[in-house]
Structure 1
C-alpha cells in the first residue's frame, strides 16, 4: 500500500474530557518541532465523540494552555482551515459512507448484543482464563435471527471483522519494525451514531491529509486495526511514530487522577515558565546532539531527528523541572521578569486587574532582590507581597513571632530611634544607621540584631535583603511597621 505523500502534515487530537493532560503538550511539542523543521502544517483536531465524558470548558482550556506554552497550531476549530470542521462531532456525516462501504465489502458487521450480555461474556472468559474479546455471536445473523437469542439490543453497533491473517507488524518511525497483539472485532460505530476513535482517527487523518501520526506508545496495540482500515478502504498509509509514555517515579503512567502534575494547568498554577516547561518536556523524550540540557524550541527544531527520541519511558522528575525553571528565571531581563511577576501577583490576587503605577515601581525595584532566589513564579507573593500590602494589613506569621528573643522590644526601640531622623533613605544609609545603633550600640550580633526588624517589616523569618526592602518600602511604612510590632510585644 502507498504512503501519504506531499508536505508534512501532523496533528494532535485531544479529547475535551477534563483539564488538558500534560501528555497533550508533550505530543504537540514533538509534532510541532518536526513540522516547523520540515515547513509543514500542524493541525489541532478535537476528538469529542466520547459524549459521556465530554466537558464544555475543556476545549477552551486546551486552547489557552497550549497557547500559553507557545505551541501554536496552523489549523483547528478556532482558526478554521481547508479541512474544516475540526471537531469530530461536526463530522458525523463524513464517517457514514466509510461504514457503509466496510459493511458492503464484508469487513464489518452489525452487533446487537446488549451491554449486560457483553459484560457476562467477558466475566466468563476471565473466569475460564481465556483472552477477552467479542465472541461473534451476531456475525452472519440477520436482525430477526439475532432477536431470537438472549441479550438483544434494539440499536446495533458496527464491528470490524478481523481476519485470522491480520497483519500484526508495522514500521514505526521511532522504533523500526514493531509487532502488536492480534486485535478483536473492534466496535467502529456506536449505538448513538458516533464513530469510535478507531474509525474516526483513520477517516479524519486521511481526509485532512495527515502524513505522520505521532502518538503515545499505548496506541501500538491499536495500530493493526488502523492499518486494516486503511487497507480495506484503499487509503494511503501515514507514517506512524509512537512516543514513550510519561511515567511517575514508580514507572506507572502519569495520570490526572493520581498526579496533579498530569494537568497542564497545574504548571501555570505553580509558576513555571513556558520556555522551561517546553525544555523539560523535550528532555523527557529527546537528546540534543551535543548533550545539552538547556536549549530552546528553535534549537530543537534545528536539530530535530526522530532517531534521537528515547523509547524508554521517561520519569517525570519535578526536581529537574525546578532546576530548569530557576535557570530560565535567572536568564530573563529584569523588565521581562517584572512583567511576569506583575501578572503572577495579579493571578494571586495581590494586585488588581489594573495595578497602580506605584505597584509596578515596587515590583520593578524588588525584582533584582528575588531573581536569583526564585525557583517558581508562585513564590513571588511570599517573597515580595509584604511590599504591596497596606501597613495595617501585614500579617506576621506565627513562626516569625515565635523566633523573637526577649531583646526584641529593645532592638525595635533602638531601630526606630535610629531611623526616624534619617534624611537619606537609601540602602547604604539604612544599613549604616542600624549597624551603629544595634550592633555597635546594643552590642548584638548582626544575625540577632536584624531578625526582629525583618519580622516587623516583612512578617516573615526569611525575606529578600532587609535594607534594600526597607528602601523600597519607604521611610514612613518602615517606621509604621517597626512601631506596630513593638506595640504588639508590649
Structure 2
C-alpha cells in the first residue's frame, strides 16, 4: 500500500466552524491510523471571501487541539507552495493542457448573456446549465478575441453522453448522467482557478490518497473524476461526510450564529472534549466507549464506522462530555485550569483556592460557569428568606431559624476549624435535635451561600469560608429569620 496522504484544505473566511474541524479531524485520524502524512493547504482562490487573520485562526486551532500537520504553508514540504493563490502558474499550465486535449475551452460570454440564460432557465423551471455557446469557436477566433483584450474564462468540456461512476467510502457507488453536468469554470476571468479545478490539480500533485470532505461535494465529484480521466491520473479514495444538523433540521452555519471551535474553547470547554465530541458526529467506534483522548481516537478510528445519515449537534451532550474530561484530569491539572476563573470573582487572600478546586473538580461541566458558581465566596449575595423553605428537606422559616441558632452555638465553641471536626459537631447536633440531616444542613448551607445551588454542602462551605466568616453569615441568617 502506498503511503496514506490526507489533506485539510480550509478557506480563510474567518473562523473554524465545527464541520470544518470535523473534516480536519477525520483526515488527521485516517493519516495517523496508517502512519501516513496529514497535509494543510490553504484554499484562497475566492479572494472576495478572504478574511484578514483567518489563516492564523486555522494554525492556532490545529495547534491547540494537537493535530500537527506534516506539510503546510508555515512549515513547507516537498509539494509546495501550499497556498493556492501562490500556485496560479501551475493551474494555468494544466488548464492549457486540457484546452489542447479538447477537454476544456475558452468562453467569452459576458455577464449579461449568462444572466439572461439564468433567467431563461428559471422561467422554464430548470436548473441553470451553461448552453455551450463558446464550445465550437475556432482557434483563430479565440486568438483574435484574446488579442483584442476580451475577458474570458476556461470551461471544462463535459461529454454530452455517457455516465460517470465513482465509489465513495461512505455512500457507496454513485452514477451520474453526463448530460446533467454543467461545463463548469476552471479558470476565472481574473486568472484565479475555481475550487473545482484547483482541488483536483493540487490533490494529484500533492499525492493525496484519501480526499475527506462534506457530502455537499458529492454532486461535483463526477466533474472532478472527468478531470482526472482527462489527465490520465489515478483517482483518490473519496470519503464524503454527512452534514451536521441542529435539532430543528437546519445545518450548522456561521450565518445562523452557530458556535465555532473558538467560541466553545473560550467558554471553557476543553479542547479534548470538543475533539472527542465532534469525532462522534457521524462516526461510531462500534463499542460502548464514548470518552476518548486524541491518541485513543487514532487507535479506534475506522472509515467503516462513518455514517451516511446527518449528525445532530447536541450542546447538552457536549456539555456532559466536557464534564467527563474535566473529571479525567488530576486535581492539580484542574486547579491550574480553574485558577483564572477564581481570580475573576475572588480577591480575598484568606480563601484557599485549592479548597475550591477540591469542591469544584467533580462538580464542574464548563469552566466559564465557575465564577457564577462561587461568587458567594467573596461576598454573601442578597437573598430572600423563602430560600430556607425546602419541601424535600422538610425545612420552614421556624425550624431553619432554630437550626441556625443551634449550629452557631456549637460551631462558635470549636478551637480547631477543620472539615472533619465541623462534620462531627453538626452530625452530633442533628442527633441531639432528633431531626433529619437536611433540617440542619440545608439552613446552614443557605445562610453561608445565599444560593439555591452551590458547589458543596454546608460542611465544605464552612471549611472554605473559615470560622469568622461562617459565624458572621450565620448571624445574618438568624437576623433575617427573626424579622
TM-score (normalizing by structure 1): 0.82
Alignment length (residue pairs): 467
Q: Is the contact made by 1:169 and 1:178 (CA closer than 8 Å) also made in structure 2?
A: yes
Q: Is the contact made by 1:167 and 1:224 (CA closer than 8 Å) also made in structure 2?
A: no
How many angstroms does 1:401 deviate by?
6.2
**Corresponding residue for 2:256?**
258
**1:298 paired to 2:290:** no
Q: Is the contact made by 1:425 and 1:475 (CA closer than 8 Å) also made in structure 2?
A: yes
Q: Deviations over 1:128-161 (max 9, x none)?
A: 1223111223333479989xxxxxx953222212
> Which among 407, 411, 414 is matched to residue 422 of structure 1?
414
Q: 1:477 to 1:60 in 2, by over 3 A?
A: farther
Q: 1:126 to 1:458 in 2, by over 3 A?
A: same
> Which among 80, 84, 102 is matched to residue 84 of structure 1?
80
> 1:130-169, aligned counterparts within 5 Å?
130-141=126-137, 154-165=150-161, 167-169=163-165
Q: Which runs of 5+ in 1 are unaligned?
A: 147-152
Q: 1:430 to 1:292 in 2, by over 3 A?
A: closer
> 1:6-85, aligned counterparts within 5 Å?
6-85=2-81
**Corresponding residue for 1:288?**
285
How many angstroms does 1:20 deviate by?
0.6
**Corresponding residue for 2:91?**
95
**Corresponding residue for 2:214?**
216
**Corresponding residue for 1:396?**
381
How many angstroms does 1:357 deviate by?
9.2
Q: Secondary structure at the match of 1:168?
A: strand
Q: 1:68 to 1:465 in 2, by over 3 A?
A: farther
Q: Secondary structure at the match of 1:113?
A: coil
Q: Secondary structure at the match of 2:49?
A: coil
**Corresponding residue for 1:207?**
205
**Corresponding residue for 1:458?**
449
> Matched residues in 1 for 2:41 and 2:435: separation?
67
Q: Is the contact made by 2:92 and 2:187 (CA closer than 8 Å) also made in structure 1?
A: no
TM-score (normalizing by structure 2): 0.84
**Corresponding residue for 1:150?**
none
**1:328 paired to 2:325:** yes
The Cα RMSD (Å) is 3.5
Q: Which runs of 5+ in 2 are unaligned?
A: 143-148, 390-396
Q: Is the contact made by 2:163 and 2:176 (CA closer than 8 Å) also made in structure 1?
A: no
How many angstroms does 1:317 deviate by?
2.7
> Matched residues in 1 for 2:341 and 2:119: separation?
52
> Matched residues in 2 for 1:204 and 1:194: separation?
14
> Which among 452, 459, 464 is matched to residue 472 of structure 1?
464
Q: 1:113 to 1:481 in 2, by over 3 A?
A: farther
Q: Is the contact made by 1:271 and 1:344 (CA closer than 8 Å) also made in structure 2?
A: no
Q: Is the contact made by 2:12 and 2:44 (CA closer than 8 Å) also made in structure 1?
A: yes
Q: 1:92 to 1:476 in 2, by over 3 A?
A: farther
Q: Is the contact made by 1:439 and 1:449 (CA closer than 8 Å) also made in structure 2?
A: no
> Matched residues in 1 for 2:140 and 2:297: separation?
60
**Corresponding residue for 2:193?**
195
Q: Secondary structure at the match of 2:48?
A: coil
> Which among 287, 303, 307 is matched to residue 304 of structure 2?
307
Q: Which moved more, 1:453-462 or 1:127-136?
A: 453-462
Q: Secondary structure at the match of 2:173?
A: strand
